[in-house]
Amino acid sequence: MADAVRPTRWLLPTVLPIIRIMLTTFLREDQPTEEFNSPKYLYDRYDFIIVGGGTAGCVLASRLSEVAHWKILVLEAGGPPPPESRVPGLSRLFYFPSATTWHYNLAPQRHGLRAYNNRSSPVPHGRVIGGSSTVNGMVYARGSPRDFDHWASLGNPGWDYLSVLPYFKKSERYRGPKRPHTERFHGRRGPIPVTPESPGFFTRVFLQAGRYLGFKLIDPNGPDLMGFAGPDYTIYRGERWGPVRAYLEPAAKRPNLHILHSAHVLRIIFNKDKVAVGVIFMHHDKVKAVKANLEVILSAGAIASPKVLMLSGVGPQKHLHHHGIKVVHDLPGVGKNLQEHMCLYGLTWTVKPGVPNDVLNAANPASVTQYVHQKSGM
């Protein structure tokens, strides 16, 4: 057993960096870099300031800049997407600390993470244009309809599932087979390609097991999520295809849109009426300020958005006082009640000789060559 496992221990850490260098060399020639060069100058004022160039920030920048007389500024702490982020098979590289990810650790859990040291695990998320959509596993999952309905019931009209469904469909270019239910719940003309998985050996066995146990095979983005399904992916022609390519790249050269990367937002400026009127940020070790004529839009993600709010004086008063932050508005819910996905890692099994192992098969120079020329193999 030890002899069978030993090659895996050195193969992935040794070969993956080499593959990364090879792919980066080839892909950098094809990937334009000028789209996300920081502007040569900044205005003192913009109509809209978007804090965070992740999934929501990309969409907002694209849509708002369609109005030619509005000036839009996007502030993103990370840099442009690296070329290797386009390669589906290299997404695992971003699970480890790097320049393109923030890496926090969960507070020790009382009930979960029993297999982890101190019951704490890393929480990587994107520090790059596109945010986590640039470094994630490319699984397209809208979430449970009941979550949206619950948000609406808390006093958020328009957030129920049937109200947000048209917007999911508008953004989606679904590439799966046409069936009655898919046409009700999927869009065909949106900018983001969504591709159902082509089931491999293990997926087919997994789905067969679910059917054997009496579960339905379902659409993972349909209205009923009780069942077994292979995932949908934001992959098109062998490459990652998310909000950066679908929304931001086509809009990046508009003269009224400025995208400033490596800009770390420190806090939001509020006036005496508690209206957000500007942003203070750090860029190349210099503290700068910019004002908004219309709105400051905070779209920095589930972790960074409440952090920026609290640094700006919006949050639980006692917590802000503890850290010496002047309170602008006491809002107890900020920074609390985040619920991560429930997840069971690792269905572990033994396999017969001859059963393919996709991870190890992909970690070789032949797969790199195949990917460069055919966009397959990784």
In three-state secondary structure terms, 156 is: coil
- Give pLDDT, residue 378: 62
**Counting beta carbons within 10 angstroms of the beta carbon of residue 228, is it exposed (0 to 12), middle (13 to 18) or buried (19 or more)?**
middle
State the DSSP H helix or E strand holding residue 150, giving kind and residue range, or none if neither. helix 145-153
Average pLDDT over the chain, rounded to an integer: 87
* pLDDT at 3 > cutoff 50: no
Say what the pLDDT of residue 337 is. Answer: 86
pTM of the model: 0.87
* Structure confidence at residue 1 as a pLDDT band (50, 70, 90): very low
User: Which has more pLDDT, 66 or 369?
Assistant: 66
Residue 11's pLDDT is what?
Answer: 46
Structure token pair of residue 111: 């009930």
Q: From the CB of residue 314, how many other CB atoms can be counted at a distance below 10 Å?
A: 24
- Assign 198 a pLDDT band (cuts: 50, 70, 90): confident
Share of the chain above pLDDT 90, in %: 61
Q: Is the pLDDT of residue 358 over 60?
A: no
CA distance 192 to 247: 8
Token digits for 245?
């390519």
Return the minimum-mean-pLDDT range out of 62-76, 100-114, 159-173: 100-114
pLDDT tens digits, residue range 199-222? 888 889 999 999 999 999 999 999
**Domain range 31-137+243-299, its CATH number among 3.50.50.60, 3.40.190.10, 3.40.50.720, 2.70.170.10:** 3.50.50.60
Contact 196, 175 (CB under 8 A): yes
Nearest to 268 by CA among 319, 323, 321, 325: 325
Band (9; pLDDT cuts 50, 70, 90): very low
Q: According to the model, what pLDDT value does residue 95 have?
A: 79
Residue 36: predicted pLDDT: 79
What pLDDT is attached to residue 353?
A: 67
Lowest-confidence segment of 16-25, 127-136, 251-260, 284-293 by average pLDDT: 16-25
- For the ranges 51-55, 163-167, 225-229, 342-346, the lowest mean pLDDT is seen at 342-346
For the chain, the structural domain boundaries read: 31-137+243-299, 139-233
d(CA 164, CA 151): 12
Burial per residue of 144-163, b for 16 or more beta-carbon CB atoms within 10 angstroms, e otherwise: ebeebeebbeeeeeebbbee
- Copy the structure tokens of residue 213: 């146990």
What secondary structure letter does DSSP report for 84?
Answer: G
Reported as a pLDDT band with limits 50, 70 and 90, residue 146 is very high
Using CA atoms, how far apart are residues 249 and 254, in angstroms rounded to an integer? 10
Adjacent-strand bridge partners of 46: 292
User: What is d(CA 133, CA 84) in angstroms, rounded to the nearest whole number?
Assistant: 14
CA-angle at 138, arms to 137 and 141, nearest 5°: 110
Which pLDDT score, from 0 to 100, does residue 377 have? 65
Structure tokens at 270: 């509020």
The first and second tokens of residue 315, run together, are 């949050």
Most confident of 16-25, 118-127, 165-174: 165-174
Residue 58 and residue 247 in contact, taking contact as beta carbons nearer than 8 Å? yes
Residue 192 token pair = 């983001």
Residue 10 has pLDDT above 50, yes or no: no
